[in-house]
Amino acid sequence: MIQLKEILTPSQVVVNAHVTSKKRALELVAQTIAENCNELDVHNLFEHLIERERLGTTGFGNGVAIPHCRIENCQQPIAVVLKLTTPIDFDAIDNELVDILVGLVVPNNATDEHLQLLKQIAALLSDAQACKQIRSSTSSQELYQILTNGVSGI
């Protein structure tokens, strides 16, 4: 089974991201992924993320969102993590503002991997201790280490 740490690099982790809306957050997710994956076009990726949001919010609750999509020209799964400077309205299921986003893009035919990764990310972000450590991180490298080496105390 593929692990989050296999599809995440330090350049795909952004701490203190300043966005003011759900749209801007999705633009930053698309931009960060496209910068780290040459075969993906930022505009096409953004449109796929918006299209997925129209089906239903990816605002998971507890200040967390997991925007995700499957896309045709994606060769392998890729993730991005954003820790926002200021929480934003993301139409979350619990109506809370969101300050942690984990964006996920997978190949169009990778249904099983997509579901496994979503389950893994949701499990991590359902843990209060994990979210506390993520929120207390002060650099992209520190957050990357937390996400790839495991959260202490859980």
Q: 62: closest CA among 115, 12, 123?
A: 123
Q: Which of 18, 43, 68, 114 is catalytic?
A: 68
Measured over the CA atoms of residue 5, residue 11, residue 16 and residue 19, the dihedral's sign is negative
Global model pTM greater than 0.75:
yes
Whether 43 is catalytic: no
Tokens of 89: 């309205």
* The CATH number of the domain covering residues in 4-149: 3.40.930.10
CB 85 within 8 A of CB 16: yes
Tokens of 97: 């503002």
> What is the per-residue pLDDT across 8-63, written as a single tens digit (0 to 9) for each?
999 999 999 999 999 999 999 999 999 999 889 999 999 999 999 999 999 999 99
> What is the per-residue pLDDT across 72-120, written as a single tens digit (0 to 9) for each?
989 999 999 999 999 999 999 999 999 999 999 999 998 888 899 999 9
Residue 110 sits at φ, ψ, to 5 deg, of -100, 55
Q: Beta partners for 103?
A: 80
